[in-house]
Every structure is written in C-alpha cells, then in structure tokens.
C-alpha cells in the first residue's frame, strides 16, 4: 500500500496525470461528397479530432446498405444510416433478404447517436414547360430517380398519392444514375423532375443555366390527408413544412404554394454505432457533436434545414415501426445538454 501511494505521488509530481487522454481510433462509413451524410460525418470528424475525443478514419463513397450491416456486425464503428435500413434489416427484406434468419438480431445491435434528414423530394419543371401543378403531370415525361433503389420507389409513390398517376400508364418515367442527374435536367429530356434535393439544392441552382425553374409544393389538402400522412410517417420518412421564403432560392426559382408554405417529405437518417460501444464513448461523441452543431449548420446553405438537433419523434422519423433506438450514452449526452429524448426512442 505504501509503495502504491509513493508511486501515485510520483506520477502526480511528474505531471503524468495531466497528460491528455489518447483519442480513440474509429472508422466511419458514409456516402460520397456533396450530400448531408458526408457533410455530417466529415464535420464531426474534424470536431472530434479538435476536441481530442476521437480520430475518425472516414470511408466515403460507400453503399450505406453495406455500411449499416458492417456496424451491426461489428466490422465498422460508425455509419450514416437512412432509417429505412434498420427497419428492412430487422425484417430481412429488400437488400437484406439474405439475412432473413439473423436480420432481427443484427438490427437490434444498432444504436443511434444523432438524427438528421438527407433532404426532401422536389418536383420541378422549367418555366418553359408551363407546369405549375401536380394535376398537370398526367401524360408527361418525368425524371423520377436512378434505375433502382428507395428514391425511385418513393418518387413513384408520391406521384401516385399526390397526382394519382402511375408510371407506364399515366406518364413516362426516365431513370438515370445520380452522376447524370444535372445533365439530364439541363438537357430537358423530361417535362418535370421529382427526385431528392436539399433545401436549397445545388443541382436546382445549376439547372437555372438552362432557364428559370418552378418548384411545386405538395398541395396542403393532399399533404394533410390521412393517406399521405400515413405514408409520409412510415419508417425512413418524415413530412416537412417550411416557409417558401426561407428556402434560400433567388429570382431564378419560383416556389408554387397556395399559402407560402413548401411541403414535401424527407428521407430520415442518423449516425449509428454498435450497441457494444461503451456509454462513456457514445456520450463523449454526442457531446462533441452537440457542441459543434452550429458549425455544422454553417457548413453549407442547406445544412440548416437538415433538422440537426431535432429529436422530435415525428420530425426525426423515430419510434413507431422504426426499430432503431438511441445509444444509452447518447441519451445521457442529449439530456445533459437540455434536450428531450422521446421515451419511445430510448433503449
């Protein structure tokens, strides 16, 4: 005991105890640059390193379907996750059909640190096309996403719910990969476009090179109706309302809305980790994130509309059929900072 006390005194005298704790080395998977997931992760990586909490090896350009599975299996520490993915993994459905037996167990391994959305869907057309209403889309050619995936499915569903039209029967759909998005819009190959977009959107701003653009809100009656709200609050989505004047567009973009409120649906997401991460580490990570949230919102014109720091269950897409819960350490950090975490989203 005496030797132990002498050793402790020596350590204190030498100032060893005052040395900074070594930052944890973590891997973080996300999408390619230009969108909300990549911005969220890279901004956090800078903040975590600056605070000495963690050094993140950011793996960009990943397919998030695989990234979420890697975290669930303990092969990666963090990943950007559209909230539809934990839901599909639990069911062993869609891209996780091969995980039918173990899907529920793997999904239960996932925990969220913080929520945000990946942007909302935007219906737009060049003014020269003369389209100012969803009711004018029947018989038109519409660019509605990539050849496959959630974005295409959501776009088709929106067109059926809001405009009452089905692809192949009531309109012609065009699908091209995201890399060809701006080129397709600029060339005017379609009469209208309905694909995901941040608010404001870089590609909508770029489209003005080919002429003035009209962005059309979902009509209030349709938006507030039970069929649309039931669909818009399903796992992976959330309804969004924002003042048209707050969207950040200039004179080249006209927002069509009957009451000045732009209505759409957003893709909900979160940064996820494995439940095996210690409470202390999760709390430290989220505390850094909260401290630097305002810096994140200032990183891009559209970042302030990603619902950063909004934990409301409906707005964030949590609870209900969504199986994803927050990490216990994350809950502690949010509540310590004065935020309310929905009880239904706690582990």
Domain map of the chain by residue range?
21-118+269-345, 119-267
Q: Is the pTM of this model over 0.75?
A: yes
pLDDT score of 3 more than 70: no
* CATH of 119-267 among 3.40.640.10, 3.60.150.10, 3.40.190.10, 3.90.1200.10: 3.40.190.10
- Higher-confidence residue: 299 or 180? 299
User: What are the pLDDT digits (tens) for 123-178?
Assistant: 999 999 999 999 999 999 999 988 877 788 889 999 999 999 999 999 999 999 87
pLDDT, position 32: 86
Mean pLDDT of the region 304-330? 96
Same fold, 21-118+269-345 and 119-267: yes
Mean pLDDT of the region 316-324? 96
pLDDT score of 232 more than 60: yes
pLDDT, position 187: 86
Determine whether domain 21-118+269-345 maps to CATH 3.40.190.10: yes
Mean pLDDT of the region 282-300? 97
Q: What is the mean pLDDT of the chain?
A: 91
Which residue in the block uniquely carries the two structure tokens 């002429």? 211
pLDDT, position 22: 67
CB contact at 8 A, 21 and 58:
no
pLDDT score of 2 more than 60: no
pLDDT score of 226 more than 80: yes
pLDDT score of 17 more than 50: no
User: What are the pLDDT digits (tens) for 163-177?
Assistant: 999 999 999 999 998
CB contact at 8 A, 90 and 107:
yes
pLDDT score of 1 more than 80: no
pLDDT score of 218 more than 80: yes
Phi, psi of 171 (to 5 degrees): -155, 160
- CA dihedral sign of residues 34, 39, 42, 46: positive
pLDDT, position 320: 93
Q: How many CB atoms lie within 10 A of CB 147?
A: 8
CB contact at 8 A, 70 and 81:
no
With cut-offs at 50, 70 and 90, classify the pLDDT of residue 18.
very low
pLDDT, position 5: 36
pLDDT score of 19 more than 80: no
CB contact at 8 A, 95 and 311:
no
């Amino acid at each position: 005991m005496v030797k132990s006390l002498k050793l402790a005194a020596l350590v204190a005298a030498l100032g060893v105890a005052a040395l900074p704790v070594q930052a944890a080395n973590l891997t973080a998977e996300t999408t390619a640059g230009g969108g909300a997931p990549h911005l969220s992760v890279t901004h956090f990586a800078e903040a975590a390193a600056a605070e000495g909490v963690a050094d993140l090896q950011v793996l960009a350009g990943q397919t998030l379907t695989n990234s979420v599975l890697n975290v669930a299996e303990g092969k990666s520490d963090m990943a950007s996750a559209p909230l539809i993915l934990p839901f599909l993994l639990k069911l062993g459905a869609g891209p996780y059909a091969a995980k039918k037996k173990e899907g529920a167990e793997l999904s239960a391994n996932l925990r969220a640190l913080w929520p945000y959305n990946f942007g909302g869907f935007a219906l737009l057309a060049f003014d020269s096309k003369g389209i100012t209403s969803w009711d004018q889309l029947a018989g038109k050619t519409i660019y509605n996403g990539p050849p496959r995936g959630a974005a295409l499915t959501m776009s088709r569903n929106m067109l059926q719910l809001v405009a009452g039209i089905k692809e192949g029967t009531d309109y012609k759909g065009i699908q091209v990969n995201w890399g060809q998005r701006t080129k397709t819009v600029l060339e005017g190959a379609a009469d209208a476009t309905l694909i995901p977009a941040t608010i404001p959107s870089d590609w909508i701003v770029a489209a003005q090179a080919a002429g003035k653009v009209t962005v059309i809100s979902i009509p209030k009656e349709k938006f507030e109706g039970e069929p649309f709200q039931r669909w818009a609050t399903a796992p992976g989505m959330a309804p969004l309302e924002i003042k048209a004047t707050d969207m950040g567009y200039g004179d080249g973009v006209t927002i069509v809305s009957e009451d000045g409120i732009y209505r759409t649906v957003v893709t909900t997401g979160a940064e996820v980790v494995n439940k095996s991460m210690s409470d202390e580490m999760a709390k430290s990570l989220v505390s850094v994130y909260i401290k630097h949230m305002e810096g994140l919102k200032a990183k891009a014109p559209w970042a302030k509309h990603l619902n950063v720091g909004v934990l409301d269950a409906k707005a964030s897409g949590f609870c209900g059929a969504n199986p994803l819960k927050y990490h216990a350490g994350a809950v502690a950090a949010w509540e310590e900072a004065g935020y309310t975490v929905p009880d239904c989203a706690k582990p």
